Amino acid sequence: MRATILNAPYDISLQEVPDPVIEAPTDAIVKVVASCVCGSDLWSYRGVNKVPEPRQIGHEFVGIVHEVGADVKSVRVGEFVVGPFFYSDNTCPNCRAGFTSVCVNVGGYTGCQAEYVRVPLADGTLLATPDFPSPEQVPDLLTLSDVMATGWHAAVSAGVKPGMTVVVVGDGAVGLCGVLAASELGAGRIIAMSRHAARQELARQFGATDIVVERGDDGVAAIHDMTSGIGADATLECVGTDASMRQAIASTRAGGTVGFVGVPHGIKVPVGEMFTRNVGLVGGAAPVRYYLPGLMQRVWAGKLQPGKVFDLTLPLSEVAEAYKAMDERRAIKVLLES
Ligand SMILES: [Zn+2]
């Protein structure tokens, strides 16, 4: 089969690799229908995360079950499935507590920007759609593999409740899905921090009531101006840098909570400020599998259309261009058709 290989920083190509095979009776092989490039893939693409040797890449996919191991019970060959970005057993104490991303048997895939992927612990990982989806539903379903579930986790972690004022830091696909999640959870006012016209427009479509273009101290000052000097009830940190985390914490009211889902890079949490103002920090890697049934129901009912975050669709053969477009911020998120 053909699979995406990250050879070295800024060097991505589609190459022929051996087809994945069932290695354990709990495995499934999924024929990938669509995958996508994640903001977190760019950390490796840019060489911020070291890439000592060429490797397959990609952790978001939807597809059709191609083959199952002898012990797989919950999905059948031919079913359309969504795959969370980690695999999990969905039975251990962490999974039962709602943290499938911290499953005692958690793991990552070999690489999903490919024609086929081997899914370990298929019963605890994959979720089949109620019926075979239409092509128009595929982008919405694909976001449930990561970005929509991650934005949802930011909003849930921040404790978003009806009527709240919510700030969203980060206008990537996760931040935009965070806006959508806050809206779905009933936030009264949603302030998206973005300086890109196309992203501002999508944020408004997803439910943002206000846009703040300033960043850093100026961004915080703008939030305080808009909230009578108090700050937001809940803030979603969807970037993962020190600057974005400081901005998120400083934008939050006394007693408010920051839900953080940006993969942290070089963050020094200002515990003193959090202590003084009683600001909480909750979040981490999203337990996608835990949220998947509820989110799939919302998407299937047409209540949520997070697939709008895909503003570029390319064939898998143009994966190198997909990474370039994401890296140069020409695209919010690129869908790859296998
Ligand atoms: Zn588990």
What average pLDDT does the segment 176-193 reach? Answer: 98
Question: Are 107 and 208 within one domain?
Answer: no
| Counted domains in the chain | 2
Q: How many CA atoms lie within 13 A of 201 on its CB side?
A: 7
What CATH number does the domain containing 269 carry?
Answer: 3.40.50.720
Give the confidence band of 51 by pLDDT, cuts at 50, 70, 90. Answer: confident
* 237: β partners: 169, 260
Distance in Å, CA 204 to ligand 1 centroid: 37
Question: Are 153 and 103 within one domain?
Answer: no
Question: Are 216 and 246 within one domain?
Answer: yes
Q: For position 286, what pLDDT does the model report?
A: 98
What average pLDDT does the segment 205-219 reach? Answer: 97
Give the confidence band of 39 by pLDDT, cuts at 50, 70, 90. Answer: confident
Question: Are 261 and 291 within one domain?
Answer: no
Q: For position 327, what pLDDT does the model report?
A: 95
User: Token digits for 178?
Assistant: 């965070």
Alpha helices in 21-172 (DSSP H): 41-45, 93-96, 122-125, 138-143, 147-157
Question: Are 277 and 304 within one domain?
Answer: no
Question: Are 153 and 142 within one domain?
Answer: no
Question: Are 15 and 137 within one domain?
Answer: yes
Number of CB atoms found within 10 A of residue 13's CB: 13
What average pLDDT does the segment 10-19 reach? Answer: 97
Question: What is the chain's length?
Answer: 338
Helix count (H) and strand count (E) of the chain? 12, 16
Q: What is the mean pLDDT of the chain?
A: 97
User: Token digits for 67?
Assistant: 């083959």
Is 119 in a helix, a strand, or coil?
Answer: strand
Distance in Å, CA 31 to ligand 1 centroid: 25
Distance in Å, CA 129 to ligand 1 centroid: 22
What average pLDDT does the segment 114-136 reach? Answer: 98
CA distance 184 to 162: 9
CA distance 88 to 107: 7
Question: Are 172 and 245 within one domain?
Answer: yes
**Looking at this protein, which amino acid is placed at residue 333?**
K
Model pLDDT for residues 147-160, shown as the tens digit of each residue: 999 999 999 999 99
Percent of the chain with pLDDT over 90: 96
Distance in Å, CA 285 to ligand 1 centroid: 14
Q: In this structure, are residues 320 and 135 in contact, taking their beta carbons and an 8 Å threshold?
A: no
Q: Which of 242, 259, 283 is the last residue of a domain?
A: 283
Strands 127-128 and 80-83 turn out to be: antiparallel
Distance in Å, CA 105 to ligand 1 centroid: 6
Give the confidence band of 269 by pLDDT, cuts at 50, 70, 90. Answer: very high
Question: Are 35 and 152 within one domain?
Answer: no
C-alpha distances (whole Å) from 18 to each of 1, 2, 130, 320 are 6, 8, 32, 21
Residues, beta carbon < 5 Å, ion ligand 1: 88-89, 92, 95, 103
CA torsion sign, 57 to 63 to 67 to 70? positive
What average pLDDT does the segment 165-184 reach? Answer: 97
What average pLDDT does the segment 279-286 reach? Answer: 98
Least confident of 40-49, 71-80, 311-320: 40-49
Question: Are 238 and 209 within one domain?
Answer: yes
Distance in Å, CA 103 to ligand 1 centroid: 3
Full residue range of the structural domain in which residue 306 is found: 2-146+287-337
Q: In this structure, are residues 148 and 177 in contact, taking their beta carbons and an 8 Å threshold?
A: yes
Distance in Å, CA 102 to ligand 1 centroid: 7
What CATH number does the domain containing 79 carry?
Answer: 3.90.180.10
Question: Are 75 and 174 within one domain?
Answer: no
Distance in Å, CA 125 to ligand 1 centroid: 10
CA distance 32 to 66: 9
Distance in Å, CA 104 to ligand 1 centroid: 5
Distance in Å, CA 88 to ligand 1 centroid: 5
Question: Are 158 and 258 within one domain?
Answer: yes
pLDDT at 232 > cutoff 90: yes
